[in-house]
Chains A and B, each alone.
Chain A
Amino acid sequence: MGMEFLIANILVLILTVVASLVAVLLRDLLAAAVAMAAMSLLLSLEFFILQAPDVAIAEAGVGACLSTAIVIIAIKGTKRTEDE
């Protein structure tokens, strides 16, 4: 639990918040879905840093892949851009 642990922890958390903000602010819904996947992957990295590899595998499998696939299928069924 040294200094580099703390720096990596804070960096990953800041990147998670940035990815969430990008996912909220983007108008292109497909790009927003990819930003959601990036947020989920960074969150699983954070779980791995906090020494919970079990939760990290579940988060990476369900959050980054399956929910992204479902959202992309839903976007393909509707419209790609968000209206004002």
Chain B
Amino acid sequence: MSGMSKIVKTSVNILFPLTMIFGLYVIAHGHLTPGGGFQGGAIVASGCAMIVVAYGSKWVFKQIKEKRLSSFESIGGVGFITVALLGLVFSSVFFGNFLAGSNLLFGTTPATGSTGADFNTGGVLPLMNFAVGVKVIAGLFVIVLVMAYASSVKEWDT
């Protein structure tokens, strides 16, 4: 699939950083606000699909290989299971929340009552949201990218 006109490319250049920031915000605040790893990853992958539609899959394939995206997806899945197994090690329960209340990373106990949202809470939930986010970004982006590249190849020797 080749690229589109200059108007589309300029619009995508303006909209792409905003989409990225909003998607990463939804992933990072997954334990406080609606959304989480899957929703934010779908938003970021939508921004990447916008790049594919505007610039063409051949240009995108010059920037990033699908092997690298596949390894990103594997990193996300392995990270999710690793955090779950660390819960088995440290708190003797699979998916155990061993960071909550420990005053370490994301370990602050949230204040009771109607206070402002404290980002530094949640224990292992933000880490799992990051892992799912990486997995969903890479998975959905590689689906769109391979679909665009395969539809641009004219001769199929079936």
Contact = CB atoms under 8 A, between A and B. Distances in A.
A and B interact physically: yes
Interface of A: 53-54, 56-58, 61-62, 65-66, 69-70, 72-74, 76-77
Given A61-B42, A61-B43, A72-B53, A54 B36 contact: yes
Contacts of B42: 57-58, 61-62, 65-66
Contact of A69 (B26, B38, B43, B49): B49
Contact of B34 (A54, A72, A77): A54
Given A65-B49, A66-B49, A66-B140, A76 B1 contact: yes
Contact of B39 (A58, A65, A66, A69): A58
A58 B45 CA distance: 12
A73 B38 contact: no
Contacts of B34: 53-54, 56-57
Interface of B: 1, 26, 34-36, 38-39, 42-43, 45-46, 49-50, 52-53, 140, 143-144, 147-148, 151-152
B154 to A, nearest CB: 9
Nearest to A61: B42
Contact of A74 (B45, B46, B50, B151): B151
Nearest to A75: B151
Nearest to B42: A61
A73 B148 contact: yes
A23 B144 CA distance: 22
Given A53-B35, A70-B143, 15 more contacts: A57-B26, A57-B39, A57-B42, A61-B45, A62-B42, A62-B140, A65-B50, A66-B144, A69-B46, A69-B50, A73-B1, A73-B147, A74-B147, A76-B1, A77-B152
B59 to A, nearest CB: 15
Nearest to A77: B151
A74 B1 CA distance: 10
A46 B46 CA distance: 21
Contacts of B50: 65, 69
A47 B146 CA distance: 31
A77 B35 CA distance: 34
Contact of B46 (A61, A72, A76): A61
